Chain A
Amino acid sequence: MAIAFILACIVLIAIIVVQIGRVSELSAKIRGEEEAEQAANRSSGRLMIPFVVVFLVLCVASAIYYKNWMLGFGPLESASAHGSAIDSIFNTTTFFTAIVFFATQILLFYFAYKYQQRPGRKALFLSHDNKLEVIWTIIPAVVMTFLVVGGLDAWNMIMADIPVENRSVLRPQGEDEFIEIEGTGYQFAWHLRYPGEDGVLGTKNYRKISALNPLGQDWNDDKNLDDFHPSEIVLPVGQQVRVRITSRDVLHNFYLPHFRVKMDAVPGLPTYFVFTPVKTTDEFRKGLKEYPEYNVPDPEDPEKMLWETFDYELACAELCGTGHYSMRRVVKIVEQNEYEEWLRGQSSYYFSSIRNSDEDPYKGEVLDLEKKERRLQFSDKLETVLAEPDSVQRIIQFDYVTFALGSAKLTDETTYELDFLVDAMKKYPSMIIQLAGHTDNTGDINMNVELSQARAQQVEAYLVEKGISETRLSSKGYGPARPIADNDTEEGRAKNRRTEFEILSK
């Protein structure tokens, strides 16, 4: 129906158009060809000046109306250090081109108006003027030189990579440190990666990509183990950032409009962009507050004003397929302490998602990193227990120490936990402890008591071997006598099979 209506409209318009044409020709015939031509000429000539005046006025008026959207003005001031250089070249270029624009448009339409055909007028025979031509060749050449030099100066500054002697760290401080983060485009989102405590991003191999390993990180590379994958970019203000930009499938473009950052993500060819954010999200919001267009309720969240819900954004600026328009991530620029706090909430992708899965090459092994962390946990626990009043029983359980099945032989890989205790005994030379073995209630009770006794003694022997005086140590096997959980469930029984030590005196 709608289509038929449109077709009918088109036919109608066509008829009208043809009629206009006919009428104009008819009237020309009546008035005489020449006179009609002159009249038509005059009417077009008359339009030249109003057109150029209205056009140029609207150009200026619209520019004023939209000035808050322009580079380097108002709320969209660059939020990065290099961005203001871009904005300033933009404005210089606008200045020069505006002069040329106004001059040439005015002359074009003014000449058209002034030299319109008039009866009796003779055109000037003017085929060239070398002097004039040389002048208007040289002037643009000089202006261009000026713009090129300014532009390239900024370009080479902006695109310069970080000097090799600078250090890549997770918490950059000052000039010679930077943080390197990674953005990987895929259809249709950005996957973000931070380097972790070592400050270095681990290596990747696209053949290792799987549902569990979205970036194809090589877990044999230790540098990968602490890398984490946040859902938004959070960066400390005033510190240099190098973004490594990669793609998993097609071309994407890592685009941070507020920071004047833009670079293609190319499969097989990592690119980069270096920038320094200079305004926190909060500061930028405060800036927006000054502008009426941001003092309207956010349609998504009508409780708040637009400026309050503002966030920096990461977008894609290279056509990558159907979902190209939806690759958004939020970017937050924060003060150093907030950044620290945010970092504490992040956990390594390896440890949270890969560890002990089938893809983990270290499945079943204990990593140095884990030992380090467990040492911290151990000493935390020890300090907590020591701080408690003497009336409380001070028992600490070994979480990781294991024995060979049905025997008292310590598993070599797990003795590291006993080393924590060795160090603690050395730190507190007057501490006296008793080692205790426990079992669950299955099997022969005597054998259980015997085994738990043997295991406690084995631990004691290990400590002695490591140089702790026997006088500070004793051991006891309790068998199933002291359960800490319900022996009716497998879970409870597992908890009850344990080795621990009691601090008898500090």
Chain B
Amino acid sequence: MADTGTITAPQKYNEETLIEELGYDDHFHDHHHGDKYQSSFIFHYIFSMDHKMIARQFLITGMFWAVIGGLMSLVFRLQLGFPEESMAWLKPILGGWITVNEAGIGTLAPEFYYALVTMHGTIIVFFVLTAGLSGTFSNLLIPLQLGARDMASPFLNMLSYWFFFSAGVVMFLSLFLSTGPFSGGWTAYPPLSALPQASTGSGAGMTMWSFSMVLFVVSVLLGGINYITTVLNLRTKGMSLWRMPLTIWAFFVTAIIGLLSFPVLVSGILLLILDRELGTSFYLSEIFIGGSALDHVGGSPILYQHLFWFLGHPEVYIIILPAMGIVSEVLSVHARKPIFGYKAMVYSILAIAFLSFIVWAHHMFMSGVNPFISNFFVIFTLIIAVPSAVKVFNWIATLFGGNIRFTAACLFGIGFVSMFISGGLTGIFLGNSAIDVQLHDTYFVVAHFHIVMGIAAFFGMYAGVYHWFPKMYGRLMNETLGRIHFWGTLVGAYAIFWPMHYIGMAGVPRRYYSFDNFQAFAHFDMINKFITVAAIIVFALQVLFLINFFYSIWNGKKLTTKNPWKASTLEWTTPINPGHGNWPGRIPTVQRWPYDYGKGGNDYISQITPEQEWEREYDEAH
């Protein structure tokens, strides 16, 4: 940590002309005359093949689903917090799911409570935090930060969005079934999900759920193969793997995880469909239900759990890795410092990705699998704490000695780290099978995963939206509203989920429609009311974000400079409103790694700036 103020670097280069001087001519504009093939409204805004438009489509669709998923949680939170209050006022929206008695008191039907819980989980995990997060930012940033004109296959990229859209349509329609949407939990464990006679939601609702999920996986795979190909093949000259921003590393590894794990989910769902429709017995054995004994013998419900969690666990990293990448980038830019331990960050992403494939059965300690097997899963699970801890320490060290601008993006980055610490540490409890005996399927688990992959991932997403909004729309979001949004959400999210740890430690199981049947679980009226009120407030704060977002698209402060955050990565070398192909002329060549902030007293040095004489001495000195 030598005094860096003494060396002043001569700024020989003019960024504006650097690309034309040093850039690489791929004759792009000789082949693409203007944006001809997406000049009409339909091909520009709807069936667009431009990665930036597809990113925005993913984001806005994700927002739609976040609102739906969030509202659902409010309805079931009302049931949990205020079970005695009448819900008759929701009758105009929820119709038959609210039964109003003679006194005018409306109650939520238990089967609809379970449908809400199930849909909330499915929607937030897959549609919001997978498609809305990885879909948005992988699409936006992979070509922009790598110096590519677009994705390797813009057409597949478009298909990827429309498969996601169709999955959404199917899921949305299932909400209007007279028997209700699927209600057996987002994990859809058979036999509950396999037998229509086990639950009303397991009829048509489950058929549509599984169909929607298959469409969704197709979307993820089309997107993923595109991201991987683009990262491997379309990096601009000079952009070696070790010069990629951590965002790209995260998206790249996320896509690989998705490509390896989502097909396993599809096979799991496929076998489930066979059990449902064709009378096979993959998951079913010795079942007596609805007054008759079924013919199915020899199957095992646990097989489904293995297949599901083989995706299900990597899925949480599919959600959190992009958020980690975004936060690494955002913290570095706004702290005006290089990310601390870049290589360690990359290796920890790789380590987490690898480990994510060999820990799935930690969701199944209490499922009836051989307890001996659990030993391995405990060991691998708790090893994940090590790369995770390294990442946390590196983020904190990135802040150390910085010159931090508290933009909304940066604040959400800091909030992400706080949430990731809080939620990550409770994972150490749950990953230890002995403790899991008591905590499994209690509110402790709910608290853990909401903080570590729900709130944290949302924070990563918000950091990304605030940070790259200027790149998406050429305007800035309102920072004051952003700050209110951040502080309110930070406090509110802790207010929702922190108390759940205590309820969980007391043994209260999750997925209970009512706690009145048990003495042991009926003590927490006050906490449940508090959580519900906090949830309503936090939801309202997200509305504030939505207003800010949509208002700013048309009325936000216009950008006057290409690089509002003074960041060194390539996306900020494109025009304020980049057209198709991203760079109007040549594409930039990359000369250095992406985190030269504060080097030799320079605020930042763009990735397109060639290495200078003084730097060699400087690097040796450090």
Interface residues of A (CB under 8 A from B): 2-3, 10, 13-14, 17-18, 20-21, 24-25, 37, 40-41, 43-45, 47, 51, 55, 58-59, 62-63, 66, 69-71, 76, 83, 85-86, 89-90, 93-94, 96-97, 100-101, 104-105, 107-109, 111-112, 115-118, 121-129, 132-133, 136-137, 140-141, 144, 147-148, 151-152, 154-156, 158-160, 186-187, 206-207, 209, 216, 248-251, 253, 255, 257-258, 260-264, 266-269, 271, 293, 306, 309-311, 313, 315-326, 328
B401 interface contact, C-beta 8 A: yes
Of B244-252, B307-315, B383-391, B465-473, the one touching chain A: B383-391
Q: Provided the pairs A17-B481, A263-B366 are in contact, do residues A124 and B1 lie with their beta carbons within 8 angstroms?
A: yes
Residues of B within 8 A of A40 (CB): 406, 479-480, 483
Residues of B within 8 A of A62 (CB): 498-499, 502
What would be 29 A-B contacts, judged by CB atoms less than 8 Å apart? A2-B89, A17-B481, A20-B481, A21-B551, A40-B406, A66-B505, A86-B434, A100-B421, A100-B425, A104-B421, A123-B403, A125-B600, A127-B342, A128-B341, A128-B344, A137-B389, A141-B386, A144-B385, A147-B428, A152-B375, A155-B433, A251-B191, A262-B366, A266-B301, A317-B441, A321-B114, A323-B110, A324-B513, A326-B514
Report which of B191, B343, B367, B435 forms a contact with A151, defined as CB distance below 8 A: B435
- CA–CA, A104 to B425, complex, Å? 11
CB distance from B618 to the nearest CB of A (A): 9
Report which of B390, B411, B483 forms a contact with A136, defined as CB distance below 8 A: B390
Residues of B within 8 A of A267 (CB): 191, 284-287, 301
Q: Provided the pairs A117-B404, A128-B343 are in contact, do residues A249 and B287 lie with their beta carbons within 8 angstroms?
A: yes
**Which DSSP category, helix, strand, loop or mixed, fits chain A's interface?**
helix
| Contact (Cβ within 8 A) B189 A319 | yes
User: In the complex, which residue of chain A has the Cβ closest to the Cβ of B288?
Assistant: A209
| Contact (Cβ within 8 A) A89 B110 | no
CB distance from A332 to the nearest CB of B (A): 13
| Contact (Cβ within 8 A) A69 B505 | yes
| Contact (Cβ within 8 A) B406 A158 | no
| Contact (Cβ within 8 A) B184 A108 | no
| Contact (Cβ within 8 A) B198 A124 | no
| Contact (Cβ within 8 A) B437 A93 | no
Residues of A within 8 A of B392 (CB): 104
| Contact (Cβ within 8 A) A124 B434 | no
Report which of A45, A122, A147, A325 forms a contact with B513, defined as CB distance below 8 A: A325
Residues of A within 8 A of B367 (CB): 264, 266
| Contact (Cβ within 8 A) A117 B405 | yes
| Contact (Cβ within 8 A) B399 A108 | yes
Report which of A14, A20, A147, A320 forms a contact with B192, defined as CB distance below 8 A: A320
Chain B stretch 1-30: residues in CB contact (< 8 A) with chain A = 1, 4-5
| Given A124-B4, A128-B344: 19 more A-B contacts, CB < 8 Å | A13-B540, A17-B544, A47-B487, A97-B426, A104-B392, A109-B414, A111-B396, A118-B403, A124-B400, A124-B598, A127-B340, A152-B433, A206-B293, A248-B289, A249-B191, A250-B192, A257-B506, A313-B519, A317-B440
Residues of A within 8 A of B396 (CB): 104, 107-108, 111
Q: Provided the pairs A155-B378, A206-B293, A266-B367 are in contact, do residues A125 and B4 lie with their beta carbons within 8 angstroms?
A: yes
- CA–CA, A380 to B386, complex, Å? 73
Residues of A within 8 A of B506 (CB): 69-70, 76, 257
- CA–CA, A64 to B372, complex, Å? 37
Report which of B441, B499, B598 forms a contact with A125, defined as CB distance below 8 A: B598
| Contact (Cβ within 8 A) A10 B543 | yes
Report which of A63, A108, A132 forms a contact with B414, defined as CB distance below 8 A: A108
